[in-house]
Structure 1
Amino acid sequence: MTSAVMSAEFTAPFSPALVVPLPEVRQWRIHLGAHKTATTHLQNTLTEIRPRLVARGVDPIPLPALRRAGIAQALNERRLATRLPILRGVIAKRILCELLDPLREGPETVILSEEKLLGSPRRVFSDPIYPMVEHIVPTLATLGGRADVTLFLSIRNFAGQLASTYAQELRVLPPPEGGFESIRARVVANPPSWFDLARRIRAVAPNAPLRIWRQEDYRAHKREILSELAGCDTGPLPELADPTRTKSPSLEAIREAEALPRNLSSPERRRIVDAIFANAGEGTRFAPFSKEEEAMFEARYVADLARMRDLDPEMLMRF
């Protein structure tokens, strides 16, 4: 019986002699996100099949437990020690032992799927996108001192991803000055690139394999994708409904959320916006880019995928 199980079920007075130490992790399989790429559905599926995977020697830590433990926040803190390569691994291992071991079921292969490792969703609007990559990825890569580390990234066409991320961020923050139009003008003038993100990840973690899948492939190829993430065949997957919480809201709902007072607290804003989005109905699809701009993003997406294949034929999953 693992210490995690005992902590949940054992109610007698604590005795150190009863604690069985967990085996050291030998394989880390870390899904970084990105945001709004069917991550919630994937994470819910991993949680649903966790007992089956644990029996096969793989432990996917449920996202709610990762969030409660504050794993992403702890690893992303800009401590002086994590800037020094010689200390990075020690700090990362200490954080994960303290926060993660109580959540583990025992297997030596652990899956983490947590898009907040890349930072908050709005970091995709930065230039370059996800600027925390150069901090968090080297920290994660140091776990490879005595274990194998494999990184995973899920991506999608930016035309849809940027619009969905903007809607999600309205739950916690007021819109930027100018609303989405200010973002649209910037990303059309200087489009983001998934290839550049992949190249940045490879640059700071050259020894960690990077595997990438497209959200557009996820629905038809869930089992192949989750099996690749797990490092073993998952077996048949349950049919889970799409999460309603992450469903893209209508244009009318977004306009209502944008009009809320800017001085609302984050909890109050989330409560109100969640109610707006839940009660809005279908409405008009939020499509902030013109047809020409959507075509530009699609062409750049196709080019990014080709450049990934040229950089490393094994990087992009093919079906």
Structure 2
Amino acid sequence: MIVTLTANTSLDLTLVVDDLSPHRTVRANQTILSMAGKPTDASFILGTLGIPSRAIGMASGAFGQRAAEMLAAKGVTVDFVEVGGDTRINVVMVRADGAGDTTITTNTLIAEEKHISELLHRLTAALHEATCVVMGGTLPNGMSPTFYSQAIGIARSANVPVILDASGENLQVGLCSNPDYAKPNRDELSDLAGYSIDSPQAAFSAASEILATYGTQSIVTLGGDGAVAVLKDRAYFIPPLQVNLISPAGAGDAVLAGLAAAIEKQQPIETGIRLGMAYAAAVCQQAGTAVLDPLDVERFLPQVQLVPYP
């Protein structure tokens, strides 16, 4: 079974508006409460497509309960540790004309050492049936990036592949424990590399450095510019698909879902990249985070190209 690990669970409150002009009242045309938090997004997407997973994480309060209910409704096995504070709510403001979106994030969970120990215990217990572990996202108050070192080490000691999607110090520290795959976006890779990832070539160079340094294979998502995958003995450029863009929120997390789905079925990682890019395109056509129509996936999948690079 696919296992996802989300220390900092969250929900997205998406507000669809006509514009975001300052110094005036902005009225939302549509309000959507949806899943958030990278790996839990992946579980939600997998559940939408009928693929089971176990979502391990930390949660608290009414929003934590709501997140658990939303995942369970998709057939996800929910395994949350109750902690302090509250599961966070992020606000995503989406222009109705697809001209852009703005996300305001929060951090309201509070984790103590006993909670962290329990979370790692639940991860360990789940590994006997795990085909891969998807982990990442921000961390609650009270946790340090060394959590990712511990979690990756536990999974790798059980010979379970790890897909990491994190940013900043969480990504830096996590890579030092040699996850099998990383899925940074343009901004996350720019921060890690110390220079702007402004082209597929720049993404290729930075991802090649990750492979050489950590042995970690990377799928770098570049938004409307497609993606670059640097694997152990090959690399690809994946051209962008033509979508009716509403909101990209959750699109990167859809790539995580695709990679995990392929690993679950012991398929080549190229299959996972194709699935992930099709899932991501479908997500972009919906206003809610990590929401997709399976019919869109079927339509986009044959359009995904993996072009050998460079």
TM-score by length of 1: 0.31
Query: Over alpha carbons, which structure has the higher Rg?
Result: 1
Q: Which has the higher strand share?
A: 2
TM-score by length of 2: 0.32
